[in-house]
Amino acid sequence: MPPVQRSSTAGVTLVEVLVALVLFALISGAGFGILDQILRTQTRTEGRLDRLGQMQRGMYLLSTDFGQARSGTLSWQAGDEGVFLSIARSAPETDAGWITLTYQLRDGMVSRDVASASGDPVARQPLFDDVSAIAWQFYDPGVGWIEEWPPADATREPSQRPLNPVAVAATITLTDDRQLRRVATLPSEPR
């Protein structure tokens, strides 16, 4: 049988249309899969970057606050509501020239409470969330790292004890058992 000749004005056959549709569907499906994977990766990356940014801001504030601590103002208290660490730091933009900061773990979040020199609350700033514990250590050059401040040191007279520790270490345990540690130095005092 001789080959069938088609007219140049004839259309495409049904088989050709179906093959084109199948190829288009395969390419579209692959493209959608790639796009979906990119969007999921972007969402996970943004979440991690937000968490990393939160940690970096918190660590920066810890270092900055302790680096501007006023002499003799660091106090540490353990109570029923957790551990509180308070300092007064320089704040030239305020009328008094200083503010009081209190760090506390409350409901899985470490917060930084800011109060004016008169003691009036100004702001509460969340620093870290998903926290299971926070531990503070204080470096006394005569003793080393200790767990509470001021030191309960019977061997030295109160007048010989430093007003502030040389450094403060914060160890923050996250709910996934990872730990963050920051050691911040305090302004030097005449010794």
Whether the Cβ atoms of residue 102 and residue 85 lie closer than 8 Å to each other: yes
Edge to edge, what strands does the sheet with 121-129 contain?
75-79, 82-90, 98-106, 109-115, 121-129
The pLDDT score that the predictor gives to residue 171 is 95
Location of structure tokens 């395969």 = 26
User: Residue 101: what residue type?
Assistant: L
Count of positions (residues) in the chain: 191
Per-residue pLDDT of the chain in tens (191 residues, 90 and over written 9): 667 676 666 677 888 889 999 999 999 999 999 999 999 988 888 888 988 999 999 999 999 999 988 888 888 887 777 778 999 998 888 888 889 999 999 888 999 999 988 888 889 999 999 999 999 999 988 788 998 887 776 455 656 656 788 999 999 999 999 999 999 999 876 44
Query: 58-75 b/e with 16+ CB inside 10 Å = b?
Result: bbebbbebbebbbeebbe
Query: What pTM, to 2 d.p., does this model score?
Result: 0.72
Please give the C-alpha separations between residue 177 and each of 42, 51, 134, 135, 171, in angstroms, as whole numbers: 25, 15, 12, 14, 12
- Compute how many other C-beta atoms are within 10 angstroms of the C-beta atom of residue 28: 10
Distance CA(57)–CA(110), nearest Å, equals 13
